Amino acid sequence: MSEDAPNRAAKLGIPEFPPDPADDFEWVPATRQVAGDLSEPPLIDWRTASTSRRAFLRGVVCSGVAVSASAHLFTLRPGEARAAVRGVERLVTLHINGRARRVDVPPSETLAQTIRYRLGLTGTKIGCNRAECGACTVLADDVPIYSCSTLTHQVRGKAITTVEGVAEPDGTLHPVQQAFIDELGPQCGFCTPGQVMSAVGLLKKNPNPTVDQARRALSGNLCRCGAYHHYLAGVMHAAGRT
């Protein structure tokens, strides 16, 4: 039968574990080294039986975690910090396209993310994700907003409409959608949902806009295909039919 490894190591004089230099180190406070033991009672030694090196290191690590967690809380906006502390506020009821949808949403999540990735309404596009292109436009209480730059928790209680919610239940397109098709607005189509939502928002507020008013209403929607005149014609076309 072969000898097991620890016994063989012991016979050869090899310690089972490498020695820890700290185990043989007698720590003496610097003041005592210089001046001798002048204190009565003796100086407090952090290497007492109740404070091991391992416990000390564990304390350092834990305090680091606590500091970084509190720093995270202090960098949040006031509302986010409150929500982070009270995790129950993650649950939101969104009124979207005429339906109430209950979703679990982190305080920092944008409406565009919730719409696309939690509710599966991918008609809303994310282009720049920084309030520049308008591809993510949806309506909140009939007002066009950039959903990429709106926190989902900010629209509690508002009626949200996405491009999936503008057509009739039987599939009949909204007059704006039909007019955009008739006027050959969509080229690649990426900006189209945002253009539709801005136009629908305009016509809800002002059913008979002038060309300038329509141009201003669509000015927050960029079209990399350059189909601006087609979309503008579509709005005017739809205005005559709504």
With binding defined as CB under 6 A, does residue 132 bind ligand FES?
yes
Q: Which of 110, 112, 111, 107 is nearest to 72 (CA)?
A: 107
- The DSSP symbol for 4 reads P
For ligand FES (CB under 6 A), the number of binding residues is 23
Which residues have CB under 8 Å from 131's CB, separation 6+?
A: 146, 148, 149
With binding defined as CB under 6 A, does residue 232 bind ligand FES?
no
With binding defined as CB under 6 A, does residue 176 bind ligand FES?
no
Which residue is listed with tokens 């690590």?
Answer: 61
With binding defined as CB under 6 A, does residue 151 bind ligand FES?
no
Which span sits near ligand FES by CB under 6 A: 46-54, 56-64, 66-74, 222-230?
222-230
* Extended strands (E) in the chain: 91-96, 99-104, 137-140, 143-146, 159-161
Least separation in angstroms between residue 78's CB and ligand FES is 24
Edge-to-edge strand list for the sheet holding 91-96: 99-104, 91-96, 159-161, 137-140, 143-146
With binding defined as CB under 6 A, does residue 201 bind ligand FES?
no
Give the Cα separation of 165 and 197 in Å (integer): 10
Least separation in angstroms between residue 106's CB and ligand FES is 19
Figure out which of the listed residues 94, 96, 105, 133 binds ligand FES, where binding follows CB under 6 A: 133
User: DSSP string covering 15-46, please?
Assistant: -SS---GGGG-----HHHHHH-S--SSPPP-T
Which span sits near ligand FES by CB under 6 A: 54-62, 73-81, 94-102, 185-193?
185-193
Which span sits near ligand FES by CB under 6 A: 40-48, 121-129, 156-164, 197-205?
121-129
From residue 27 to residue 66, the character string flagging contacts with ligand FES as x (rule: CB under 6 A) and all else as - is ----------------------------------------
Which residues have CB under 8 Å from 114's CB, separation 6+?
A: 94, 103, 105, 152
- What's the Cα-to-Cα distance from 224 to each of 133, 135, 188, 236, rounded to whole Å? 9, 11, 9, 21
Token digits of residue 234 = 């579509």
Q: Which is nearer to ligand FES, 63 or 219 (CB)?
A: 219
With binding defined as CB under 6 A, does residue 135 bind ligand FES?
yes
Figure out which of the listed residues 119, 144, 146, 174 binds ligand FES, where binding follows CB under 6 A: 146
Give the Cα separation of 114 and 96 in Å (integer): 11
Q: Which of 89, 212, 102, 97 is nearest to 161 (CA)?
A: 97
Least separation in angstroms between residue 231's CB and ligand FES is 8
Least separation in angstroms between residue 235's CB and ligand FES is 14
With binding defined as CB under 6 A, does residue 121 bind ligand FES?
no
- Binding region for ligand FES (CB under 6 A): 126-129, 131-136, 146, 148, 186-192, 223-225, 227
